[in-house]
């Protein structure tokens, strides 16, 4: 089963109060799962990675065989594609964790950079995570 993922992280301050949001859609564009959550004080880049990690976990749990992830974080996408080096120590830890998860994931993985306007649904969820101040909340 191929799933399309949309992930986002929000940070009010940078660092500041942060939230994550992601949704998974089927090939027809129907949302089959969405979630938001509060992750405490963080940077926007850390929140982006955290959102992707949670999304990877859920995709595996749903039996996904191919995951095409979309993010408006040019930095994270280019780092994961090997186009940018990961210089920040904290982001290096996130990067390694993503690589570890992908090494044993039951799906093939592709990540694409998209414009912020095309990632609106994930952005709304990430900001809802900050507003709710609750750990990951299942939306559907």
Reported as a single tens digit per residue, the pLDDT across 12-24 is 998 999 999 999 9
Domain chopping of the chain, boundaries: 2-138
The pLDDT of residue 137: 64
d(CA 29, CA 20) in angstroms, rounded, equals: 21
Using alpha carbons, list the distances in angstroms from residue 140 to 10, 25, 31, 113, 128. 20, 11, 8, 25, 14
pLDDT single digits (tens) 102-116: 999 999 999 999 999
pLDDT score at 136: 81
pTM: 0.95
pLDDT at 30: 97
The pLDDT value recorded for residue 50 is 97
CATH number of the 2-138 domain: 3.30.420.10
- Is the pLDDT assigned to residue 138 strictly greater than 80? no
CA dihedral of residues 26, 101, 44, 127 (deg, nearest 10)? 40
Residue whose C-alpha is closest to residue 41's, from 2, 7, 79, 10:
10
Cβ–Cβ contacts within 10 Å for residue 88, how many?
15
- For CA atoms 38, 43, 44, 48, the dihedral sign is negative
- Checking if the pLDDT of 122 tops 60, the result is yes
């Amino acid at each position: 089963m191929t799933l399309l993922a949309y992930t986002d992280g929000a940070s009010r301050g940078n660092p500041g109060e942060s939230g994550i949001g992601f949704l998974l859609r089927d090939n027809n564009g129907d949302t089959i799962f969405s979630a938001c959550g509060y992750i405490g004080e963080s940077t926007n880049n850390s929140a982006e990675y955290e959102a992707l990690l949670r999304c990877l976990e859920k995709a595996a749990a749903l039996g996904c065989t191919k995951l095409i992830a979309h993010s408006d974080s040019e930095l994270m996408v280019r780092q994961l594609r090997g186009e940018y080096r990961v210089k920040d120590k904290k982001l290096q830890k996130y990067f390694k964790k993503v690589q570890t998860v992908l090494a044993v994931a039951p799906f093939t993985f592709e990540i694409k950079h998209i414009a912020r306007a095309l990632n609106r649904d994930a952005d709304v969820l990430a900001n809802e995570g900050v507003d709710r101040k609750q750990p990951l909340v299942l939306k559907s």
